[in-house]
Amino acid sequence: MIAALTSLMLAGFSSSTAGAQSACGALGGTVGPDRTCHAHIENDTYTVDFRFPVDYPDQGAMTDVLTQRRDDFIDWITRMPNTYRPELDVIGHDYRSGAMSSGTQSLVLTIGTSAGVHPVTTYRSLNYDLSKHAPITFDTLFRPGAQPTAVLNPIVQRELDRHGATGALTLEDLGAKAYENFAITDDAVIFFFDQDGLLPHERGPLTVEVPRTELASLLA
């Protein structure tokens, strides 16, 4: 039953839009007046809901991330007991720095997965240099040879201490991987940390804004 539903939904939700140039088209979504895409699946087995701005410049990367997240979720559903109807909710938020044509643009996806009594929030970010027409990763955000974690770890650790937490992981456990989800603004680099990671589950996810003045000597 689940496998049949999965095949039908994927066929209608993806294959019919194969070759579409936009992420919204690839997901079978519709674009509203506010330039936000909404794509939705709802059946007796699961619910998937996507909402994200359509103007991120690297549509290929955005399509890959969103379709992979959807497919992983549906694959997970096929391998779990069908005792409830899980939900996947993905909301994209846009961030910018610098000039509209030559600065940076960031897309942060807030991913809510509900499969019972403990819904979990995680993040996935994409960043793009509009002048270089190239993606920005944690490595390319900083100058070659810089040691950004030496500056970032104490800042984030103060926030963790303020929340009175020790989660399942530490900044030392994760290293640079802790900072892979970020957004760039004119004033700060904002880092997003998943629920069930650095904080206990009940404390939720964590967002830390690091002023660009504290990173000025390290930024590329």
Query: Phi/psi of residue 8, each to 5°?
Result: -65, -45
What's the pLDDT score for residue 21?
64
Q: Architecture of 137-220 per CATH?
A: Alpha-Beta Complex (3.90)
Whole-model pTM over 0.85: yes
What are the extents of the domains in the chain?
1-129, 137-220
The dihedral built from the CA positions of residue 173, 188, 180 and 146, taken in this order, carries a sign that is: negative
Beta bridge partners of 52: 37
Which CA distances in Å does 130 have to 54, 99, 151, 189?
16, 9, 27, 17
> The tokens 């070759």 sit on which residue?
19
* C-alpha–C-alpha distance, residues 220 and 151, integer Å: 15
pLDDT of residue 166: 77
Fold of 1-129: Heat Shock Protein 90 (3.30.565)
* Stretches in the chain below the pLDDT threshold 50: 1-20
pLDDT tens digits along 100-129: 999 999 999 999 998 766 789 999 999 999
Q: What is the C-alpha separation between 98 and 11, in angstroms, rounded?
A: 41
